[in-house]
Structure 1
Amino acid sequence: MDDDRAVDTVASALLASVSLLVRRVRRVPVGGGLTMPERTALAHLDRLGPTTSSTLAREAQITAQAMGATLAGLRSRGLVARRRDPADGRRAVLSLTDAGLRALRDKRDERAELVARALERGTFTPAELARLAAAAPLLERLAENI
């Protein structure tokens, strides 16, 4: 029973702290000209590979219409390409262009720099930095198991 409470306590603490970190990082504006929905669509295309608009909408938990508008803007800027699905010519498949991948990487790099600056401010000891580094792969594995 104590193990169950310990797991619940760890789960609550992790969710609260990671959520706060993500909210703070997202709140700080960075360059690149990508809105949050655009960044989300590009990130899903990067992770999933070529896919349909409806799949992207499901992944992002938004309406198909909202995803369609987001993708139209990305296509007009050359960040996303659209082609017929070879398996079903009635459907369109979307994919990242080289420019889209660069825009996504630039946005990720800027956010990583933001976190790096926060880590460099001297509020973390070398031992704490090592613990954070060790926790990163564990957090990734936790996310993959959800």
Structure 2
Amino acid sequence: MDAPSDDSRSARASALAAELRALVGKLKRRLREQADVGDLTPSQVSVLLRLEKDGQATTSSLARAEGMRPQSMATVIAALESAGLVSGAPDPTDGRRILLSLTDACRQWVQEGRAARQDWLSRRLQARLSVDEMEVVAMAAGLLNRLVDD
């Protein structure tokens, strides 16, 4: 049997890329459904996840990181502060700046959401896949990691 031509390999890669993109989007939506985000907007959730990942930040640094105007970010932060999810404290090296961080209640909420998503996916794998199929998914996960690792 001949090796696939470059054209057929390219066409297969393109079709697979489209299928993976759609599947990853669907998986993200299903995982999002498992964690109660209440009335939070996508921008608010993004800021909370950034603060959790990167630690303390100023409003202006969050605005830059999120691609927002500082005034818009200030509105997002105000809503998060009033919900008790974010708090601000003076920067110890520059008292004019306020460093924002997650409250303990928010950290717990993030952890509970992550645990709910993990539990849902684990139960789904056990209920829908055989042991052999789970091994195939594990191998595919390894290959996907190779795709996204730099």
> Is TM more than 0.5 here?
yes
- Report the equivalent of 2:74: 68
TM-score by length of 1: 0.72
CA contact (8 A) 1:83 1:92 kept: yes
Identity of aligned residues (%): 35
User: What is the distance in 1 between the residues matched to 2:57 and 2:77?
Assistant: 12
Structure 1 stretch displaced more, 70-79 or 129-138: 129-138
Give RMSD over aligned pairs: 3.0
Maintained 8 Å contact 2:63/2:70: yes
Q: Give the structure 1 partner of residue 48 of structure 2.
A: 42
Equivalent position to 1:128, from 129, 133, 136: 133
Report how many residues are paired: 143
Distance 1:17 1:31, change over 3 A: closer
Taking the TM superposition and a 5 Å limit, the aligned residue runs for 1:89-108 are 89-108=95-114
- Measure how far apart 1:71 and its partner are: 2.1
Task: Give the secondary structure class of the aligned counterpart of 1:94.
Answer: strand
Which structure has the larger Rg over C-alpha atoms? 2
Q: TM-score, length-normalised on structure 2? A: 0.70
Structure 1 unmatched ranges of 5 or more = none
Q: Is the 8 A contact 1:42 1:101 kept in 2?
A: no
Name stretches of at least 5 consecutive residues in structure 2 with no aligned partner.
1-5
Residue 56 of structure 2 is aligned to residue 56 of structure 1? no
